[in-house]
Structures are given as structure tokens and as C-alpha cells.
Amino acid sequence: MKLADLPKEVIDDLCQEDNWRLDIDPGFDAKHEFWMSWRNFIKLPESSLFPSYQMSEDDLADFLNFNGFNILLPVSRSHHPSIELIRLIPSADAKTITLYLHDSFFEDWFRSEQDARYGFLAVADRYEKFGCNFYLASYYHFCYLLNDDYEAAKRIMQQKLPKG
């Protein structure tokens, strides 16, 4: 599933701040959590609004598929190769999923196996409108991975760290 394949009605619906807001904590050195509109992740701004900053399609979010679930997370496509699933927990009715993720995109934060403790927690709700069926994050926060999740992240880090 690709963001570009969604009907215009879905994009317009997701841009409605009163219906679809995102509680986000970008992590690491962020001082506060805040909410954002999904518009910031799925639609390029008019270039006249930000003449000195040019966004491209690669700066937008897109779907990731974990265990057969198509999930729209508030991370740019450039992060996707760095994101690994640690754990996915579907609710009993499959209307909500909780994910623990490891995102090593910011390489400076991941120089040793011990740095695998940095992760992200996402909560996504099923979106079933306009003939679509996917999960949309409503919560995306930095978290510390513990116990089995930390051990899984360490195994991922062992594969990504330079040998030597």
C-alpha cells in the first residue's frame, strides 16, 4: 500500500485536524511532546508558504507493513530502511495496534549495542473509510526498550554496527 494510491477523499479527511490528530514526541533530545496534524506528514506544503524550505515526496510519510498490517506512521520515507519492528500487539477486536519500534535513522545515537535501548512506541487505529482499510498512528513517542524488547533491539543493533 502506498500513500500515493489513496483516494483524494482519504487525504482530505486525514488533513482534518478535528478528526485526526497525532500526539507526537520526536524523541532523543526533544523537550516536550505536542500534537500535530497529519497534513504535515501526508501533503506537501505550498511552496509560497515556505519559500526557503523545499520539501519533497521523500519527506512525507508512507505506509510500512508489519506482520500484514499496513500502518501509516509519522516518519519520512527516508527513515523506513532504518525502522525495525520489535513487537506488535493487536487489540482483541483488531481495531487498534500497539507497536514497539527501533529506528536507527539518527546514526549518531546508535554507536554501541547499549544504545539499542532507544525506541519508539506507536498506537495506531484502524481507518475504514472510502473503501480503505489501514492503520493510522494517533500516538508516536520516544520510549526506552526494556527486557525482551531491549534484547531484540540489541540483536538488531549487532547487525547494523560496523564490525571490528
Compute the C-alpha angle 146/127/28, nearest 5°: 30
Delimit the domains of the chain by residue range.
Answer: 3-160
β-strand partners of 143:
119
CA 4 to chain centre: 17
- In three-state form (DSSP H/G/I as H, E/B as E, the rest C), the secondary structure along 60-81 is CCCEEEECCEEEECCCCHHHHH
pTM of the predicted protein model: 0.85
Per-residue pLDDT reduced to its tens digit, 25-78: 655 555 555 567 888 888 877 654 554 556 778 888 999 999 999 999 998 898
The predicted pLDDT at position 46 comes to 64
User: With contact defined as beta carbons under 8 Å apart, do 113 and 104 qualify?
Assistant: no
pLDDT digits (tens, 9 = 90+) for 96-139: 999 999 987 766 666 777 888 888 999 999 999 999 999 999 89
Phi, psi of 120 (to 5 degrees): -135, 145
User: In whole angstroms, what is the distance from residue 21 CA to residue 139 CA?
Assistant: 9
**135 and 65 Cβ atoms separated by less than 8 Å:** no
| Residue 99 pLDDT | 97
Strand pairing class (134-144; 118-127): antiparallel
